[in-house]
Amino acid sequence: MNAVLETRALSKSFGAVVAAAEIDLVVGEREVIGVIGANGAGKTTFINMVTGYLRPSGGSIRFRGRDITGLPPRQVVRAGICRSFQVSQLFRELTVLDNMLIALGMLREGALSWLAPLHTRAREDEARKVLERYTIERYADSRVATLPQGVRKLLDIAMATVSEPPLLLLDEPTSGVAAEEKFALMDTVMAPVRASGAACLFVEHDMEIVERYSARVIAFYDGRILADGPTAETLTDPEVRKYVIGAELHRDREAGCSK
């Protein structure tokens, strides 16, 4: 298995809080991995370090053999790692099409400039094709602020993947999405990932999603990896059931929802 991502002793502390404790992890090409863990287990901290949003306190990150530890987010994206966020990062007052044109503009020019027109026929065609791939082309002219949460999530992920990155990190892709829409959303998101041969790590609290879409699961607990292995094995691990899945059931009960 060729490694796409490799972290060694990756650590992060916030004062006395150890959010990541010497995380060793290897992600192979084309792997689709579910990342689970109760609130505060360190999942987002890990993603933030890999994508340059947080500088590690220690350890290293290698991407396709290159040391990317401490690179800022824009350089990490250029290297080939893209991400989506728990809360979609979109221009709410602009239309879906304009958001996508901005993502394409950033990809082609590296930054937006008043000298480079956002709307060109060729770029608009390209943007509409991406929207079509993510089944949201009918919303092209709608303002983001008016969209249902599932469409916002798809747009955010579509924008994160315009460069067809070899590694995609998704932070809770189905959070806030209606239960009856979550599988359709994941089917739409995973189709281009599989077609392009990218590796994908997605953080999820919904075990039905984890079971259905990941071949391997990594369980975080208290800033460290509690278990890492094939999905069925990890989800039935007694410690994972006790510290992760038990906590999720408790969380769902408190939120008054059933999964």
Cα(144)–Cα(92) distance, integer angstroms: 5
In the complex, least distance from residue 255 CB atom to ligand ATP, rounded to whole angstroms: 13
Residue carrying the six token digits 């990541």: 20
In the complex, least distance from residue 167 CB atom to ligand ATP, rounded to whole angstroms: 19
Distances (CA, A) of 132 to 35, 125, 141, 187: 28, 10, 13, 14
Total residues at interface with ligand ATP (CB under 6 A): 12
Nearer residue to ligand ATP within complex by CB, 53 or 163? 53
What are 210's two structure tokens? 């984890």
In the complex, least distance from residue 24 CB atom to ligand ATP, rounded to whole angstroms: 17
Residues 125-184 touching ligand ATP, rule: CB under 6 A, are none
| Strands 167-171 and 17-28, bridge-based pairing | unpaired
C-beta atoms surrounding 13 within 10 Å: 15
Distances (CA, A) of 174 to 164, 184, 189, 204: 21, 10, 10, 8
In the complex, least distance from residue 98 CB atom to ligand ATP, rounded to whole angstroms: 30
44 binds ligand ATP (CB under 6 A): yes
Q: What is the CA radius of gyration of the chain?
A: 18
Nearer residue to ligand ATP within complex by CB, 41 or 225? 41
43 binds ligand ATP (CB under 6 A): yes
51 binds ligand ATP (CB under 6 A): no
Nearer residue to ligand ATP within complex by CB, 68 or 203? 203
Q: Which of 42, 52, 165, 166 binds ligand ATP (CB under 6 A)?
A: 42
- Give Cα 104 distance to the centre of its chain: 19
Q: Can you give the binding site for ligand ATP, defined by CB under 6 A?
A: 14, 17, 19, 37, 39-45, 220
